[in-house]
Amino acid sequence: MCGIYCSLSANRALRPRNQTTSYLRERGPDSQEVCHHLLQNAKPNVFSDLGSHQIYLTFYSTVLSMRGNHLVKQPLSHPATESYFCWNGDAWKIAGEPISGRNDTELVFDYLMQATARNFHGGDFQPPKNPVQSFAKAISTISGAFAFVFYDSINAKLYFGRDCLGRRSLLWGLDEDGNLKICSLCDGESAPTHFQEVEADGIYMISLEPGVETALEQIAETPDRESDAEGNSPRFDIKNIKKIPWSHEPLPTPHMISPIPPMNREVPEGTPPPLTTTSSFVRELEKKLRLSLAMRIQNVRQPPGAESSDAKVAVLFSGGLDCTLLARIAHDLLPEDETIDLLNVAFENPRVVAAAAKELGEPTSPYENCPDRITGRAAFAELQRICPNRNWRFVAIDIPYATTVTHRDTVKHLMRPHNTEMDLSIACALYFAARGEGTALDSQQLNAQPVPYRASARVLLSGLGADELFAGYSRHGIAFARGGFTGLIDEIDLDVSRLGKRNLGRDNRVIAHWGREARFPYLDEDFVTWVLKAPVWEKCGFGVPESLGEVSISAEKKALRLLALNLGMTSVAHEKKRAIQFGSRTAKMEKGKCKGTDALS
């Protein structure tokens, strides 16, 4: 997971603050580089007040090297044009062609440079007829999770943004002096209101004409420019940020074609046929999920300093349906001698512990009684039974209350600008799960005893997205009860449409803090597209009759449950949805009345 920082200032080359630099290095421990450049004859009024015609651009990147056979340091630059690129992402395909062998950062930079300059490789750096639309078209064909900053010096444009599902973090805001900052996390001690998520509804652009004649010159740190007579410093003008939107249809203005199509809104005539383990949709579901997962876990590089017995891939593992299904399919895709880590987190919750002691009259384990620990151990046993030749390593991550308190300020900072009690509960669970520090139990060792362990895997699999796509929340059942298939479709459509606006950026910030990368097989563009095009009654069991002779199974995510049955996971197929903050017991740790939506003090 890489860290990105870019600043625009009329006064000086502006580095990230010390704490921000430290956090960015946690995200990308393999490389850290900074570039300072001065843009002369910039477009008037990019900065207001003084009408500055010069802009200091600073690019800073940290790198977690995951792809290709060598470390690629960032920011990438092209000396002949002085264009710059900061990339935090995984590009799995470009223009429909899978990426293999080379580092994806280099490929994407080369691809964007070709889009913004004719005959790029031949040394002809003249811009295309419509460079903004050409750039937008190129971004449209990149499949994968990403956030980036790209300075196109040939056309004097600064682009920044996230993929259309918002799977990587990127924030932007103005500091106290009116300088623009774009960063993977909030810079310094600024209040949450100073930074906001870069929306995943488009790519954003700042025009810095006059264009081709504009030059960038490498500079050293320089003193602040003088203010005007009233003491005002130049401030960035927000009006200069323009959006290039994602769209399902061609538009007359620059735009990108979204890889995610509109949802199938077909309503059945009469009662749909039963959904069974032999249904064609369930069989195709397995194929599609295998393809998505294979891209994300095969040929993963050995982590630096890791031993051959250490896992390359770990699963954020509650023992629930979504994550256990990923673990089970991963078994079929990875060499049998590779260990797979199952990271299971449980918290000491003083309120719950006190209530249990009062009810039972004796102390109980605050960790082993956590719902996610109970389901996690049960799913671990089921995986051992089904896949006995695999070494499954169950990592019990026990977090004392004192440890939660010690790390709370760090978690609060990382999750900004999110700032509610629920945000903190969820962020804490993901933060400590991703740390991967606990006691490990290996399934292949006879009479094994738990031993202290810290996971070395840099790839973490997450089941996020399954609930939104396959109607896994209780509100989906309520929507169907109130509005039938139309109400259910509306609710799923709403969930999918706001994926990029909700919590993926927050989750990325807290997970990446440990130098690990979360990957989301359920949110692969091709997989999401296929699921959205399918009729709703093939994905879940609402309004669909039970098949005679088959075991009764919940309507929520019924297609995934049937797939679990096909793969031998009888117990997992019947697991109910449980929110992570309740399963791990991070919710409501202190006494008092508070709601999840309450803002933190």
Q: Look at residue 105 and tell me if it is in a domain.
A: yes
Q: Look at residue 262 and tell me if it is in a domain.
A: no
- Are 211 and 322 contained in the same domain? no
DSSP state of 244: E
- Are 249 and 288 contained in the same domain? no
How many other CB atoms are found less than 10 A from the CB of residue 270?
5
Measured in whole angstroms, the distance separating CA 320 from the mean position of its chain's CA atoms is: 20
Q: Look at residue 305 and tell me if it is in a domain.
A: no
How many other CB atoms are found less than 10 A from the CB of residue 306?
15
pLDDT tens digits, one per residue of 415-452? 999 989 999 999 999 999 999 999 999 999 878 789 99
Q: Integer distance in angstroms from the first to the last C-alpha of the chain?
A: 30
- Are 166 and 295 contained in the same domain? no
Q: Which residue has the tokens 């050995």?
A: 302
pLDDT tens digits, one per residue of 377-420? 999 999 999 999 999 999 999 999 999 999 999 999 999 999 89
pLDDT reported for residue 319:
95
For residues 163, 165, 170 and 176, what is the CA-based torsion angle, rounded to 10 degrees? 120
pLDDT reported for residue 307:
83
State pTM to two decimals. Answer: 0.93
Neighbour-count burial of 30, counting CB atoms closer than 10 A to its CB (0-12 exposed, 13-18 middle, 19+ buried) = middle
Q: Look at residue 598 and tell me if it is in a domain.
A: no
Q: What is the number of structural domains in the chain? A: 2
Sign of the torsion angle spanned by Cα atoms 272, 277, 280, 286: positive
- Are 8 and 133 contained in the same domain? yes
In sequence order, the 6+-apart residues with CB closer than 8 A to the CB of 596 are: 420, 421, 422, 425, 581, 587
Q: Which residues of the chain have pLDDT under 50?
A: 191-192, 211-229
Strand pairing class (517-519; 459-461) = parallel
- Are 106 and 50 contained in the same domain? yes
SS3 492: helix
Q: What own/partner pairs with CB < 8 Å and gap ≥ 24 does 74-78 have?
A: 74/2, 74/31, 74/33, 74/105, 75/33, 75/35, 76/105, 76/106, 76/109, 77/35, 78/109, 78/113
Q: Look at residue 527 and tell me if it is in a domain.
A: yes
- Are 425 and 540 contained in the same domain? yes
Task: Answer yes or no: are the C-beta atoms of 578 and 554 closer than 8 Å.
Answer: no
Q: Look at residue 589 and tell me if it is in a domain.
A: no
Catalytic residue among 2, 183, 186, 387: 2
Tokens representing 64 are: 């977690």
The enclosing domain of 75 has a CATH number of 3.60.20.10
Q: How far is CA 108 from CA 85, 114, 131, 234, in A?
A: 9, 10, 17, 34
Q: What is the CA radius of gyration of the chain?
A: 25
List residues bridging with 56 in a β-sheet: 9, 38
- Are 205 and 339 contained in the same domain? no
CA distance 491 to 489: 5
pLDDT reported for residue 98:
92
For residues 333, 337, 340 and 341, what is the CA-based torsion angle, rounded to 10 degrees? -170
CA distance 319 to 384: 13
- Are 191 and 317 contained in the same domain? no
Q: Look at residue 601 and tell me if it is in a domain.
A: no
pLDDT reported for residue 211:
38
Sign of the torsion angle spanned by Cα atoms 384, 426, 580, 264: negative
- Are 284 and 244 contained in the same domain? no
The enclosing domain of 558 has a CATH number of 3.40.50.620
- Are 197 and 334 contained in the same domain? no
Q: Look at residue 275 and tell me if it is in a domain.
A: no
In sequence order, the 6+-apart residues with CB closer than 8 A to the CB of 62 are: 2, 3, 24, 25, 27, 28, 29, 30, 31, 32, 74
Q: Edge to edge, what strands does the sheet with 171-174 contain?
A: 195-197, 171-174, 180-183, 3-9, 55-63, 31-39, 216-218
List residues bridging with 76 in a β-sheet: 85
Tokens representing 321 are: 């349906």
- Are 417 and 384 contained in the same domain? yes
2 in active site: yes
**Longest pairwise C-alpha distance within the chain:** 85
Domain holding 344, by residue range, is 280-299+310-584
- Are 287 and 372 contained in the same domain? yes
Q: Which residue has the tokens 């990446």?
A: 512
